[in-house]
Every structure is written in structure tokens, then in C-alpha cells.
């Protein structure tokens, strides 16, 4: 769940169970395992710097000191970094946890704070986030997107007491009333959190669920118009429908560890295994309830997310694959054909792997791909399924960031809905990440709540309305809470604000759609007339304008630069050198 300039590894390393280091949030010593890595970090922090260099090795000491003082980088500019013309040395340590030292801070006294809404670092005494404009003391966690982004004091559209009462009601466990929209939520999923204290919170954080739940409560949707479903932990036997014992045992093991990591970005604490089993259990029961008709449709407000979790391994913030489990549960309840539509900005490599040779589950994913540079790198248009299930995997890979409502709706109209109608599912699941939403710090796309509502509306027409929406990624609290609320409103029967008869795609979007149509029409005959019509109307200009494509690709691949530049220490120093000191006068 990530940008093209990925902070994640492109392939999942083996499970790493490691000890929390001395920066962690406390905890009992007996809960910890030891490992050389964390010990060496602690040693480095505690020992005097000169003690690490033998007196005889003055050359290396001088070089090291120059590096630390920034003297070795005097010629590096932000422009060099932006153009990638400066190469970092391979043997430099990863310094993602690096913080300015007191010596650095004497050069420029800067106050740092991270934004509660988007987690980005901000510097100075300003009260609004430079990236998303959210107020520094935003009420987003308590009120969701109804909180004012500009002023803590500004009056809210709901009163505080009312919202608090509604949130408490979420703890009640209930039975789904007939023909209602069901919501799956349990507060124990908020306990899954990263233990190690980093410079800013992990993007996949408990506040994501709090903000969405607060929005649903404050708008009177849940509790109110939707029914809660009782939460339970999924069983090992049910997990084995999609996962091997390697995945199940590895996740279970984390409940005995204070802090552990499956990949550098996929954390676990002692509550994570329970949270993952609750998320999967809620998705299993929602699918069963909806397919059997005891609920009309449903929204799984769950974490950890699932679509990167493969048969054997957890990765990409995902421990168990919730959507795959829901699909298998629906089939256990009698569904012959299940459709999974995945609109998370990242390709659901786990879901694809689980069903790639299974004709009874059609997997359709829209995601940033950029020739495999965007995490997780899979999901090219020519990945169509294997064995005799070719055509039952449909990938719509965007070639750049910034993709908005029009391209998504256009792809739905031209590819997703024609294939889905021809497949004619008994049950439909949406892997609903909201990291393609406008304002998301990782996805950098431009889908609005209205866009998500329109896509949900189209999906509601499938499988007799038997539709389960499952939360995946999405990291801007304001964006995910407004988008999720718009989706649930459609599940309740409200109509989206605008109709979508006339949609004009971007050239890049059109090119992707044409590529997918050309590949998939071998398996889905209804696509051929669409491909020929589009090619005659738009095709020539779209396919010939290669110059524009390569220019746009270059521009898009630059995006969020703080990931791409990587080393915080270098960036900080170059940034300080390049910006006028006057810029900071108002801050300190
Ligand atoms: Zn994602
Ligand atoms: Zn922000």
C-alpha cells in the first residue's frame, strides 16, 4: 500500500520477529526477544561517537565526521535529488528513523509536529498542515470528516455529547435485522498498532477506524440506519480455506510477542493476531448473512487490511486476506460465482494469487502500476489468470498517479461492468481501499466521495444487490471517512449526487482501458464491440501520442518525494541549505 517510489520492499522478506529497541513505548523485559540488530542500535545511541573509531584509523574517522557534519554533501542540491543525479552510497545505513541532533537543531530551531489527518511531518508553529490543511488539533478522530479542518473551535454540525453517545453504542453487539445494511466493527481491532516509536505514526493506524466510525455515528448512519453484526474470531479451519498453515501459525505466533514484523512495514503487536482473526471473522459472517438474505448488504469496517496477504505470507500491512475469506464463505453458503472488485490504489497481489486458477471467483482490480514500479509491482494487464481460468483475473493498471473519478468511472463502464454482467455473479465483494482518494498521502490519486458512491451504485446492480464492501487501505482520515460514508449511504439506498452518462477519460486512462479491452476481449466476447467503437472514436490520437505518455510517466514517477529521496538526514541538510532562513523567522 504504497507509492511508485515505494517505501516497501518489492518482494517480501522472510518473517522477522524482532525485539523492540530502547525507543519503544515501554513494556516488560521478559516479553522481549533479543536480536543483534536492535542491540546494535541501542549501542550506537549510547556510546560516545569517538569510541567507535580506533585512534589509528583517522582517515575513516575524518570521512565519517564529514558525512555527519554534512560537509560531504555540500554540492548536493534538492534539484540533484529530484533529478536523481545524486547517488547515495550503497553501504550507508537506512536512516529512516534519523532525527536532527541538537547540533543540527542549533543551526535552525525548528519545531516538528505530525498531522493527525495525513501523518505528514510539519515544521514550525503554524496550526495547519502544509500537505492537507488540517488543523493541528483537529477533531477528525472524534467527529470524522464533519470536524472543521480549519479551526478547532469552529462549531461542528453535530454536538459533542450526541456523537459521544453514538460512539458508545458501537460497543453493543447485536443481531442483524432482516433486510438491513449490516456493519462489521469491533473495538478490539483498534488494539492492533505498531509498538516501535517512529518519527511519525505508521500510516495503517487505529485512528483510521476511529475516524470512519465517528463519521458514521455523527451522520446518524451507524448506529441508527445500519445494524451491527456480532464479532467473533475466525477459526483455524475457516482460515485454511485460503491460507496455508505457514501464514496461520506465523500470525498466531505474534500474539506471544511484544513487537514483531513480517516485513519492514508489516508490523504486529500482541493484539494483532486477534484483530486479524476478528476482521476475517466479521467478513466471513457478513458474507454468509448477506448471501443467505438475513442482511441486505454490508460494510466491513475492519483492520488490518487483507488484499496483499498471500496464501503463505503476510505483507503490505495485511495479515489474513479478508476479501478472499469472504468469497470462500459465500461459496460455502451456496454461491456458485463470486466477483471481487478491488479499487484500492494498490494491486491485490494476495487475492489474485489465491484465486488465479479458480474460475468460480472473478478478480477485477484497478490500481496504479506504472510498469511494475508501483507497489507491489504485480497486476499488469496481461496477468489474466492461469490454467483454465484465463480471463478470470482482470487487471486495469494505471500508468501514472493523479487518476480521478472520470477514469475510474470510464473503466467501470467500458470494462468492469460488461465483464461482470457477462460473468453474472451470485455474490459481489468490493475490496474498498480508499487510498486512491483525493488527498491520500500514499496513493496520490484524485477519486472523490462522489466517485466512490457512483462505483458502489454500479456494483449494487450486480448479484441481486448481494454486495459486501470491505475496507482495505486509505490513509488520509478526512478522505477515508467521507468516502466510506458516501459508500455506506449508497448501500442504504441513497443515490449518488451526480449521474455519470457523459464521462471523458484522460488520454492515459483511455490508453489503459484500450489495452485491457484488447487483452480481455479474447475471454469476454461482449468487449469486442466496445473495443472497436472506442478505437474508432478515440483510439488513433490516444495510441499515437507516445511523446505525451513518456513525459507524463516521468512526471508521475517523481511523486511523493520524501519517500523517493529516502534518507532523511541528507534531505534535512540539503533542505536547510536551500531554503532561506527568513522562511523560519515566524516559527520560532
Ligand atoms: Zn492500498
Ligand atoms: Zn496533513
Comparing 15-19, 300-304, 326-330, which segment has the lowest mean pLDDT? Answer: 15-19
Q: Which ligand is nearest to the CA of 129?
A: 2
Q: Do 298 and 229 meet the contact criterion of CB atoms below 8 Å apart? A: yes
Q: Do 384 and 523 meet the contact criterion of CB atoms below 8 Å apart? A: yes
Per-residue pLDDT at 43: 30
Strands (E), 270-334: 297-300
Ligand 1: centre distance to CA 116 (Å): 19
Q: How far apart are CA 301 and CA 296, in angstroms?
A: 16
118-148 pLDDT tens trace = 999 888 888 899 999 899 888 888 888 888 7
Q: Which ligand is nearest to the CA of 349?
A: 1
Residue 73's alpha-carbon distances to 22, 98, 115, in angstroms, are 30, 17, 30
Residue 511's alpha-carbon distances to 242, 461, 515, 523, 537, in angstroms, are 35, 27, 6, 20, 13
Helix (H, G, I), strand (E, B) or coil at 135: strand
Ligand 1: centre distance to CA 513 (Å): 21
For residue 541, pLDDT beyond 60: no
Q: How far apart are CA 371 and CA 5, in angstroms?
A: 12
C-alpha cell at 230: 456480532
Q: Which ligand is nearest to the CA of 308?
A: 1
Per-residue pLDDT at 75: 55
Helix (H, G, I), strand (E, B) or coil at 228: strand
**What CA dihedral angle connects 201, 204, 206 and 209, to 10 degrees?**
140
Ligand 2: centre distance to CA 481 (Å): 15
Q: Which ligand is nearest to the CA of 127?
A: 2
Q: What's phi and psi for 227, nearest 5 deg?
A: -105, 140
Ligand 2: centre distance to CA 477 (Å): 9
Ligand 2: centre distance to CA 116 (Å): 7
Helix (H, G, I), strand (E, B) or coil at 320: coil
For residue 44, pLDDT beyond 60: no
User: Which DSSP letter does residue 446 get?
Assistant: B
Ligand 2: centre distance to CA 436 (Å): 16
Element (H, E) at 382: none
Per-residue pLDDT at 99: 65
Q: Do 322 and 278 meet the contact criterion of CB atoms below 8 Å apart? A: no
Position of cell 500482541? 270
**392 exposure class (CB count in 10 Å sphere: 0-12, 13-18, 19+):** buried
User: Residue 268 forms beta bridges with which residues?
Assistant: 260
Q: How far apart are CA 9 and CA 215, in angstroms?
A: 34
Element (H, E) at 544: helix 540-544
Q: Which ligand is nearest to the CA of 8?
A: 1
246-262 pLDDT tens trace = 999 999 999 999 999 99
Per-residue pLDDT at 111: 82
Ligand 1: centre distance to CA 69 (Å): 38
Position of cell 517505501? 7
Q: Which ligand is nearest to the CA of 203?
A: 1
Ligand 2: centre distance to CA 544 (Å): 39
Per-residue pLDDT at 341: 98
- Sign of torsion over alpha carbons 359, 365, 370, 373: negative
Q: What percent of the chain has pLDDT over 70?
A: 68
344-391 pLDDT tens trace = 999 999 999 999 999 999 999 999 999 999 999 999 999 999 989 999
Instruction: Catalogue the long-range contacts made by 445-448 (C-beta closer than 8 Å, 24 or more residues apart).
Output: 445/345, 445/368, 445/398, 445/401, 445/402, 445/403, 445/404, 446/402, 446/403, 446/404, 446/405, 447/343, 447/403, 447/404, 447/405, 447/408, 447/483, 448/404, 448/405, 448/483
Q: What's phi and psi for 521, nearest 5 deg?
A: -70, -15
Per-residue pLDDT at 148: 79
Task: Report which of 96, 126, 139, 3 is spatially closest to residue 475, judged by C-alpha positions.
Answer: 3
Helix (H, G, I), strand (E, B) or coil at 200: coil
Q: How far apart are CA 195 and CA 558, in angstroms?
A: 31
Residue ranges with CB less than 5 Å from ion ligand 1: 1, 344, 346, 433, 435, 473
Active site residues: 308
pTM: 0.74
Confidence of residue 52 (pLDDT cuts 50, 70, 90): very low
457-479 pLDDT tens trace = 999 999 999 999 999 999 999 99
Ligand 1: centre distance to CA 378 (Å): 13
For residue 402, pLDDT beyond 80: yes
Per-residue pLDDT at 506: 95
Per-residue pLDDT at 349: 98
CA 130 to chain CA centroid, nearest Å: 21
Ligand 1: centre distance to CA 474 (Å): 6
Ligand 1: centre distance to CA 125 (Å): 32
Amino acid at each position: 500500500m504504497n507509492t511508485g517510489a515505494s517505501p516497501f520492499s518489492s518482494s517480501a522478506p522472510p518473517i522477522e520477529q524482532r525485539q523492540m529497541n530502547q525507543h519503544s513505548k515501554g513494556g516488560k523485559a521478559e516479553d522481549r526477544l533479543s536480536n543483534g540488530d536492535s542491540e546494535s542500535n541501542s549501542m550506537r545511541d549510547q556510546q560516545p561517537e569517538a569510541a567507535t573509531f580506533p585512534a589509528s584509523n583517522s582517515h575513516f574517522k575524518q570521512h565519517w565526521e564529514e558525512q555527519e557534519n554534512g560537509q560531504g554533501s555540500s554540492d548536493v542540491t534538492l534539484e540533484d535529488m529530484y533529478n536523481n543525479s545524486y547517488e547515495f552510497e550503497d553501504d550507508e545505513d537506512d536512516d529512516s528513523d534519523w532525527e536532527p541532533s541538537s547540533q543540527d537543531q542549533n543551526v535552525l530551531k525548528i519545531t516538528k509536529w505530525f498531522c493527525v489527518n495525513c501523518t505528514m511531518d510539519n515544521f514550525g508553529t503554524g496550526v495547519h498542515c502544509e500537505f492537507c490543511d488540517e488543523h493541528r488539533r483537529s477533531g477528525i478522530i472524534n467527529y470524522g470528516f464533519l470536524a472543521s479542518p480549519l479551526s478547532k473551535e469552529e462549531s461542528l454540525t453535530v454536538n459533542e455529547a450526541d456523537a459521544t453517545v453514538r460512539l458508545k453504542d458501537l460497543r453493543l453487539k447485536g443481531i442483524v435485522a432482516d433486510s438491513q445494511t449490516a456493519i462489521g466493527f469491533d473495538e478490539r481491532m483498534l488494539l492492533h498498532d505498531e509498538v516501535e516509536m517512529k518519527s511519525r505514526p505508521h500510516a495503517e493506524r487505529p485512528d483510521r477506524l476511529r475516524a470512519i466510525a465517528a463519521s458514521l455515528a455523527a451522520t446518524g448512519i451507524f448506529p441508527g440506519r445500519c445494524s451491527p453484526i456480532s464479532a467473533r474470531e475466525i477459526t483455524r479451519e475457516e482460515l485454511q480455506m485460503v491460507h496455508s498453515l505457514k501464514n496461520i501459525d506465523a500470525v498466531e505466533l505474534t500474539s506471544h510477542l511484544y513487537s514483531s514484523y513480517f516485513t519492514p512495514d508489516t508490523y504486529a503487536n500482541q493484539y494483532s493476531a486477534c484483530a486479524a482473526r476478528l476482521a476475517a471473522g466479521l467478513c466471513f459472517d457478513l458474507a454468509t448473512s448477506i448471501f443467505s438474505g438475513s442482511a441486505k448488504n454490508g460494510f466491513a469496517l475492519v483492520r488490518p487490511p487483507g488484499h496483499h496477504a498471500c496464501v503463505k505470507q503476510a505483507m503490505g500491512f495485511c495479515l489474513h486476506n479478508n476479501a478472499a475469506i469472504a468469497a470462500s464463505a459465500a461459496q460455502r453458503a451456496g454461491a456458485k460465482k463470486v466477483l471481487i472488485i478491488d479499487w484500492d490504489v494498490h494491486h491485490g497481489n494476495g487475492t489474485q494469487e489465491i484465486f488465479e486458477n479458480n474460475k468460480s471467483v472473478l478478480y477485477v482490480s484497478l490500481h496504479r502500476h506504472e510498469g511494475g514500479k508501483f507497489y507491489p509491482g504485480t497486476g499488469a494487464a496481461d496477468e489474466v489468470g492461469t490454467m483454465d481460468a484465463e480471463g478470470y483475473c482482470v487487471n486495469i493498471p494505471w500508468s501514472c498517479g493523479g487518476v480521478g473519478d472520470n477514469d475510474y468511472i470510464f473503466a467501470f463502464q467500458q470494462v468492469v461492468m460488461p465483464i461482470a454482467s457477462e460473468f453474472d455473479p451470485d455474490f459481489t465483494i468490493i475490496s474498498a481501499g480508499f487510498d486512491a482518494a483525493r488527498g491520500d498521502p500514499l496513493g496520490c490519486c484524485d477519486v472523490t466521495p462522489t466517485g466512490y458512491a457512483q462505483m458502489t451504485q454500479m456494483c449494487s446492480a450486480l448479484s441481486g444487490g448481494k454486495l459486501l464492501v470491505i475496507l482495505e487501505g486509505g490513509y488520509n482520515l478526512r478522505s477515508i471517512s467521507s468516502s466510506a460514508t458516501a459508500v455506506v449511504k449508497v448501500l442504504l439506498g441513497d443515490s449518488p449526487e451526480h449521474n455519470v452518462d457523459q464521462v471523458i477519460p484522460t488520454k492515459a486512462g483511455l490508453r489503459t482501458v484500450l489495452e485491457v479491452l484488447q487483452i480481455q476481449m479474447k475471454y469476454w466476447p461482449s468487449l469486442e464491440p466496445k473495443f472497436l467503437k472506442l478505437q474508432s472514436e478515440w483510439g488513433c490520437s490516444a495510441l499515437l501520442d507516445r511523446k505525451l505518455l513518456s513525459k507524463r510517466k516521468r512526471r508521475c514517477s517523481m511523486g511523493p518525494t520524501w519517500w523517493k529521496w529516502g534518507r532523511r538526514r541528507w534531505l534535512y541538510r540539503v533542505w536547510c541549505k536551500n531554503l532561506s532562513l527568513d522562511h523560519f523567522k515566524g516559527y520560532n
